[in-house]
Amino acid sequence: MNYDTAEYRATAGAVSANALTAYSHGGTGAGIAVGVIDSGIDLQSAEFGSRISSASANVAGGTTVDDEGGHGTAVAFTIAGRRNDAGTHGIAFDATLIVARADTPGTCATMDAKGNPDCKFNDSSIARGVDLAVANGARVINMSLGGSAPNATLTNAIDRATAAGVIIVIAAGNDGTVNPDPFAEIANRPQARGLVIIAGSVGANDSRTPGADVISTFSDRAGDGAAHFLTAVGESVRAPDQNNVAYLWSGTSFSAPQIAGAAALLAQAFPTLTSAQIVNLLFTSARDAGAAGVDPIYGQGVLDLTRAFSPIGTTMIAGVPAPVSLGSNAMLSAPMGDAHQGPLGAVILDGFGRAFSVDLAGTINRSGPERTLAASLSSRTRNLSIASGNMTMALTVQPTAGGGVSVGRLQLSDGQARTARAVAGIITNRLTRTSSIAFGFSESGAALSQTLGGISAPGFLVAQDPVRGAGFDSAVKASTAYRQQLGRYGLTATAESGDVLSRDGDALPAARGNYRRFGYDRTALTLDRRFGGLALAVTGSNLNEQGSMLGAHFGSGLGGARASSWFLDAAARLELDGGWSLSGSLRQGWTFASVGGGLRGGGVLRTNAFAADIGKNGIFGHDSFGLRIAQPLRVASGGLDLVLPTDYDYDTGAVSAWATQRINLAPTGREIDMEARYSRPVWIGNLQTNLFVRRQPGNFALLPTDVGGAFRWSAGF
């Protein structure tokens, strides 16, 4: 149903309070009784129909509730005037009204100095009106009244009402004073139990206009009642009088019914809310105005129903103790690229126990393509290697911002790697003629295995060999490898541990590049053999992630998915005469995901990656040239199936329906990297050039092709 009509737009209070969200959530006030203690109501008006309760009565000794002064009708209309696509409507247009006409008989027939009906109300009559409303099931009572502090009779009636859980809204007063009217100060007394709201007035501008929430000149301020003070539109509120003639009314008398109607909307839409929770919601969701926080002008702020009808506080997946974010519940990794999601509907509960239906697909973020070239280049690095007997050690260090040094990945050239038989930050040692061992850090176990097997790695920057790394952002902490020669075969066992690096989707924009770290362990077994210039290797490995899945992080709202992956790798390198070489590698993977935190589900992903290159040493002397085409690790198929709540029963306070829904993790994009490298000695060092093309970088189909290059000159010392 469309609630954004011309009638709605003409209803100043509803527009200021952003009531459309409330209406779209089913909040209309239907079935909620609101007590109106005032000068009665126009019984001939078509604006209320059957929604005037039969319990309505004249509580001041008169014979009818029919309005004589007009004020009561206008207040009642502001709460619950019908919605009929004409004129304006009340903020809770389907609410029921319990009308207590409390004006002293005859007083509304006289006029004050301004020519307005001079209706008088005594505390005993108001007290009877309070008791009438409470006895007949009112959830909210509106008092657009003012004057001296309530006497004991009225105070006791208010005490009985709040003890019964009834919310009372009282106009602040129209004298422009620093404190509310003494009549409204009952909100500060123990008898109020925090359920009495003092209503101040702000202008009738659209709330989306900057600076619109300005306190009305006539409105009493929050002052010493700031903790219980809330403002709403009280200027130029269109409503009919007792003769069904529409006027523009101003005064805190018309702020109060906006707030009373808002309370009725919340009570109807969220039937499990207590009255204390409704008041707390109105205050917590209010738009801040004036000084930050609760202040002596605006008190708690300005009524805002969009905020009141949005989740507030800690949000949880309904039916399970799993906190869920409304902003980011997952950060996908590079192998998942631009994986598109269909609707992922779920019911969540906010801090007030209210159920909301949300689409969690919008909270799944994508990390975007890695900055491969920038990550591969590191200036002012130093490569150190030492050999003694059967032991070698190699180390790459680089300056840090703090003036010290840090250990980085291996940056030795192909020739240095051949000579030193070493990888970054490791120690290798030949134990016997047929066995050797290596210990390393900041380098993968796969790299150790290739080094112990005598397989060199060409110096490509962007088109990486997929079997040497994880395929997603990670940082190796420590690795070890043991190799045993078995005749013509070599068998190498490796183990490594480190951290998966997942971008923080909840971080402030300035810190979006920060990473969350999740531990992982990888073990592998490699069988290799040489046939002259041909080196072959087959590897089986297992990757266990503690809090991630192929580098992707899922929050508790999506089950906190974690995974165990199995990979089968094959690699070959052929050394030919004349300095030519051919290399190739292939990875196939199977990832088994599981969820926890009270949610049920899981999934299987199939992944693959490959690289192929050709190289030539000695084209023009001591130079080296190479070409490579590669596909980084990519999810070929699969996803995560979650059983999520899709319906909630307020009567039982439990989930009434669950549905299995899929998080797709296979991207439409496919990154293909092509890179050419060339290096030659220049002066006392070595000059290396790399040119690359990345198609659909990061497995994002819509991203433009990334083209770049790098020139590096390095020298030994």
Active-site positions read 38, 71, 253
Of 621, 616, 559, the closest CA to residue 593 belongs to: 559
* Nearest C-alpha neighbor of 350 from the set 262, 269, 230, 263: 269
How many angstroms separate the CA atoms of 207 and 293, rounded? 18
User: How far apart are the C-alpha atoms of 267 and 28, rounded to whole Å?
Assistant: 10
Q: Could you give the 3-state DSSP secondary structure of residue 225?
A: helix
- The enclosing H or E element of 140 equals strand 140-143
517 DSSP β-pair partners: 501
Q: Where does residue 296 rank: exposed (0-12), middle (13-18), buried (19+ CB within 10 A)?
A: middle
For residues 128 and 124, give the distance between their C-alpha atoms in angstroms, rounded to a whole number.
Answer: 6
Cα dihedral across residues 551, 554, 560, 561: positive or negative: negative
DSSP string, 387-400: EETTEEEEEEEEE-
Helix, strand, coil shares of the chain, percent, nearest 5, are: 20, 40, 40
Q: Which of 371, 368, 372, 375 is nearest to 332 (CA)?
A: 368
Other beta carbons within 10 Å of 513: 9
The full 3-state SS of 227-265, as one line of letters, equals: HHEEEEECCCEEEECCCCCEEEECCHHHCHHHHHHHHHH
Task: Tokens for 315, please give them.
Answer: 């949000």
Tokens 């994009």 found at: 669
